[in-house]
Chains A and B, each alone.
Chain A
Amino acid sequence: MTSTVAPDIPALFTPAYYQDPFPTLAWLRDHAPVHEFPFPVGDVRTWMVTRYEDVRAVLADSRFSAEGATWGNAEFRAAGLVSAAGTILERGIAVIDPPDHPRLRRLAMSAFTTRRVEQWRGTVHAVVERALDDCERRGAFDVMDDYAGEVSAGVLGAILGFRIERHRELVTALNEAFPSDPALMDRVPAAFGRICAYAAELIDDKRSRPADDLTSALIDATDEGTRLDGDELTGLVAAFIMGGSDTVRGFIGNAALALLDNPGQGDRLRAQPELARSAVEELLRYEGALSTALFRVTTEPVELAGARLPAGAPVIAGLLAANRDPRRFTEPDRLNITAESPRHVAFGHGLHNCIGAALARMEGEIAIPALVARFPTLALAVPRDRVRYIENWAIRRLTSLPVTTSTSRHA
């Protein structure tokens, strides 16, 4: 079995890969676009897909199922790679296919259409301004914890109606729910359990004290006979918590770093805030919060770009790899916030594309220009090589991003 790529290039999902995955992804796109390798957890035979066209094809093809519990081979299931196995999230919206998927997706989508998320614009502005005021008082701050984390938790909390002090516990649970270190696999079930327990607690709370928030609205919709049972409702709220907190935090951090690395682009956005929309699309393409989609498994033997996959094979669609594919994008490694690029796959593609994309875009379009506008002299507070990424195969985000705002005022 192939376990490495070229000798001088980090293998997938190794510490060196997490800090700079791009040489590995470029090599794979060129030499092994459907790359078989042993997944670090359980050494399970897995296929990594890195070209844009192939990634989109996998995510649009029902023979690549999101239902690992149903279609995954014995090796995959035995290694504990079925997402949220043993919890109600094993049948959650992200990991079920038709016929059950549309029923959940339809109800969930009703909350997150572009038109619906407009009602939260004022909330996002308020949360962003409050976080910026706090950062300005600090003078030096961590973009991840003090800004991106405050914005994502603040917005999600306001929308779902939860208490903000619970956010850090949830972030810890999220990190433990998606580990890349085999030694930490034993914490996964408990982490999913905690996320579900919190969602159930939130629903109980809103049942007794309904408020003007999304959780209360979903309870009403469920009670009005949408054929959603109690576990499905809890699973949906848990999915929103998982999908909407660390991802938005990760993206705002990645975007801030991209603009610090490309100061001309940051200056341009500061001078022309009307570029917010195209800037966010480009920043999502350049470095979104997800390196990959969740596992797909083949429902039958499939041939993909010349590779033969057996039934039950785990497949990873490389979203970051696809978004940097020169076969699809011109100069993909260059950030250009005015580019009219083809559609990226930072939110995935097909049946399971991100349900909260419209909200995430709005948060990005408000929070990112506001950060560069408030702090024209924003600069890294640590040497560039001290900026590190978390070691997680699916989520791409920084551990921290320490910055200074103005050496003269806060020295």
Chain B
Amino acid sequence: MRAAVRVDRTLCYGTGLCEAMAPAVFSLTDEGYAVARPAGDRAAGPERLREIAECCPAGAITVTGPGAGTT
């Protein structure tokens, strides 16, 4: 089991912070908003995902699952 990561499109500002921190996990769409890459959460551990979620200015990133807690 691994942690799952999700970006709330209605909250995202498109600052690109998550993409800059973990380009293997997040990417920006053409409209400039962040999405989690398919299976991208395999590219980082739960603690790293939680760290990125806590750095997000919009609080748009949610991490759930084993060892992740819920942010």
Contact = CB atoms under 8 A, between A and B. Distances in A.
A113 interface: yes
B16 to A, nearest CB: 5
A106 B20 contact: no
B16 A347 contact: no
A114 B11 contact: yes
B59 A114 contact: yes
Interface string B19-33: 111000000000111
A355 B52 CA distance: 14
A149 B60 CA distance: 32
A350 B20 contact: yes
A98 B59 contact: no
* B13, B17, B31, B33: residue with the most chain A Cβ atoms closer than 10 Å: B17
* B16, B21, B55, B59: residue with the most chain A Cβ atoms closer than 10 Å: B55
Contacts of B59: 113-115
A377 interface: no
Contacts of B52: 102
Contacts of A358: 57-58
Interface of A: 56, 59-60, 62, 98, 102, 105-106, 109-110, 112-115, 342-343, 347, 349-351, 353-355, 357-358
Interface residues of B, number: 20
A390 to B, nearest CB: 27
Nearest to B52: A102
Nearest first, the 4 A-B pairs at minimum CB distance are A350-B20, A343-B32, A353-B15, A351-B20
* A62, A115, A343, A358: residue with the most chain B Cβ atoms closer than 10 Å: A343
Given A343-B33, A350-B15, 14 more contacts: A59-B16, A62-B20, A98-B21, A102-B51, A106-B54, A106-B55, A109-B54, A113-B56, A114-B57, A115-B59, A350-B16, A351-B20, A353-B15, A357-B15
A105 B20 CA distance: 13
B57 A102 contact: no
B57 A113 contact: yes
Interface in B18-51: 19-21, 31-33, 51
B14 A343 contact: yes
A296 to B, nearest CB: 12
Nearest to B33: A343
A228 B70 CA distance: 24
A102 B21 CA distance: 8
Contacts of B13: 343, 357
Contacts of A109: 54-57
A362 to B, nearest CB: 13
B54 A56 contact: no
A109 B56 CA distance: 7
Contact of A113 (B17, B20, B32, B58): B58
A350 B19 CA distance: 7
Contacts of B19: 60, 350
Contact of A351 (B21, B33, B54, B58): B21
B37 to A, nearest CB: 15
A301 to B, nearest CB: 20
Contacts of B54: 106, 109-110
Contacts of A102: 21, 51-52, 55
Given A59-B16, A62-B20, A351-B21, A105 B55 contact: yes
Contacts of B57: 109, 112-114, 353-355, 357-358
Contacts of A113: 56-59
A60 B32 contact: no
A60 B17 CA distance: 8
Given A105-B55, A109-B55, A110-B54, A350 B17 contact: yes
A114 B33 CA distance: 17
A112 B55 CA distance: 10
A351 B55 CA distance: 9
Contact of A60 (B16, B56, B58): B16
B50 to A, nearest CB: 9
Nearest to A347: B15
20 contacts: A56-B16, A62-B20, A98-B21, A102-B51, A102-B52, A106-B54, A109-B54, A109-B57, A110-B54, A115-B59, A342-B32, A343-B13, A343-B14, A347-B15, A350-B17, A351-B17, A351-B21, A355-B57, A357-B15, A357-B57
A353 B55 contact: no
